[in-house]
Amino acid sequence: MQFPFAPNATPNETGKDNERNLRQENDLRRAQVLSGAGSGPRPFPVIPSPAPSTSGLWQISRLLLFVALFGAPLAFGAVVPWAWMSLGVVASLALFLWGVGSILQGELKVIWSPLYIPLAIFFLLGVAQYAARMTLDTSETRQALVLLITDLVFFFLAVQHFGGGRSNILLPFGLVVLVFIGGLGLFAILQSASGAQKIYGIVDTPGGVLFGPYVDRDHFAGLMEMLLPVAVFYIAGRHGRLTLEASMWRVCVVAVGLASLLLAGSRGGLLALAVEIAIASLVLRRAAARIGQRRRLATAAALASVAGVMLFAYVDPGWAAKKLGSVAYVDRTWTDWSGVRKRMASDALHMWRDHLLLGVGLGDFETAYPQYQSYPSDTWVDHAHNDYVEAGAETGLVGAVTILAAITLFLGLAFRDWRNPFRSHAGWIRLGAAIGCCGMLVHSLGDFNLHIPANAAWFAVLAGIAAGKSD
């Protein structure tokens, strides 16, 4: 019997040679595949080495973004130092993971937003004030810069994670927002009904104006007024694809959130909600939407409103409805309600007049206010209850013009497709986010919600979603 091996070689030696040659040939083909060479037929399957996974890092970054957003309101609105510092740490880590994931992919693709320009100018203004020591208290300016850059990171991540071809993430985002406002609203309602005077039953608050996990009722209302439009538009966008039972429980969840907003008794929150309804009605009337789309949105909003008002009427002890109803008495109630706020705003304008160009310094309103206070009070004033006037007093004419440009640009971007916003699920969510931001812009005329870290982070993310590039 003859073996098909080379002459003068034993069968074992020849087999080892063939095995070695086969291994070398396979290694050569693998090298050709990885280098792009060798387009001919390959009789042996070659499995290249696995590339680093970037989608996993992006998912972790997005998860951290969600953890920060939904955790900050539960941590008393992130007004305590450990909470807002944790918010900044999580935002930085999420940004780092997003950057590493992009680098491992081989290229750093950044979705552009024109809002980057005014936001960068405003931040650099604060940095210049701090570096040149043009502030009354550099430690307060440094803290304000930390909070500001945290919000800018949230805005940037929102644009990157939800903009362009990644907007399919907005659908589960809308569902999570819906569940969140339902749970938070239910907690606030039960807390109010129990007469609890401590947050979570263990944390005392000054003034006894707590509501839910927030130290102040108006700030809880500020959060809910931003999130309710997102939830309503999410339901409207999904209505035709859900069963009746699925649609009804979603409407009930929104009703709970609406009832909690009304139970907070915030007149600023009520006005913001009214403006949101007016904007939604105008967009719906002007948009080139199909009759079915308009009917879905109107039905979802009407059912949620009716159910929310009924639930509010059932759980309200009486004072909240009386307080909200006082909005109609312009001559008496509005004078009492806005009297102190008008004085604080007037004092802030005097502060601005004396520091016209660059202001007293970012975050230094509290330090500068005592010498401008025009009315006697035992309470320490830390904010002007008007975010626009306070920002002007702190950053001067340069900051005021930058803020005005940013708001104008945001409105143009958020409603640039207002005639046809319902082309996709993402379009519904983006419009809800834009309307929620508009509500906050209105509420900021009589309060300082944007100085509450949790609310400011949510505003930044919703603004990034609304102004981000669509599909």
pLDDT in tens, 189-204: 999 998 888 999 888 8
| Position 2 pLDDT exceeds 90 | no
> What percentage of the chain reaches a pLDDT higher than 90?
54
Tell me how far apart the alpha carbons of residues 105 and 76 are, in angstroms, rounded to a whole number.
Answer: 38
For residue 461, give both structure tokens. Answer: 């993310």
Model pLDDT, residue 328? 62
More confident residue, 379 or 25: 379
| Position 34 pLDDT exceeds 50 | no
Which of these ranges, 37-41, 100-104, 292-296, 324-328, has the smallest mean pLDDT?
37-41
b/e burial code for range 326-356 (CB count within 10 A of at least 16 → b) = beeeeeeeeeebeeebebbbebbeebbeebe
| Position 45 pLDDT exceeds 60 | no
More confident residue, 38 or 100: 100
Q: Which residue type occupies 83?
A: A
Model pLDDT, residue 316? 85
Encode pLDDT of 162-180 as tens digits: 886 666 788 889 999 999 9
- What average pLDDT does range 215-242 have in this prediction? 87
| Position 22 pLDDT exceeds 70 | no
Tell me how far apart the alpha carbons of residues 213 and 211 are, in angstroms, rounded to a whole number.
Answer: 6
More confident residue, 23 or 358: 358
- What average pLDDT does range 351-362 have in this prediction? 95
Asked if residue 404 lies in contact with residue 397, where contact means CB atoms within 8 angstroms, the answer is no
| Position 411 pLDDT exceeds 60 | yes
Q: What are phi and psi of 351, to 5 degrees?
A: -60, -40
Model pLDDT, residue 319? 80
Asked if residue 157 lies in contact with residue 91, where contact means CB atoms within 8 angstroms, the answer is yes
Encode pLDDT of 265-284 as tens digits: 998 999 999 999 999 888 87
Model pLDDT, residue 317? 83
Model pLDDT, residue 106? 72
| Position 49 pLDDT exceeds 90 | no
Which of these ranges, 24-28, 195-199, 344-348, 404-408, has the smallest mean pLDDT?
24-28
Q: What is the CB neighbour count within 10 angstroms for residue 216? A: 22
Tell me how far apart the alpha carbons of residues 179 and 49 are, in angstroms, rounded to a whole number.
Answer: 42
For residue 67, give both structure tokens. Answer: 């953890």
201 SS3 class: coil
Which of these ranges, 285-294, 298-307, 364-373, 420-429, has the smallest mean pLDDT?
285-294
Which of these ranges, 22-26, 81-85, 92-96, 455-459, has the smallest mean pLDDT?
22-26
Model pLDDT, residue 289? 56
- What average pLDDT does range 131-144 have in this prediction? 94
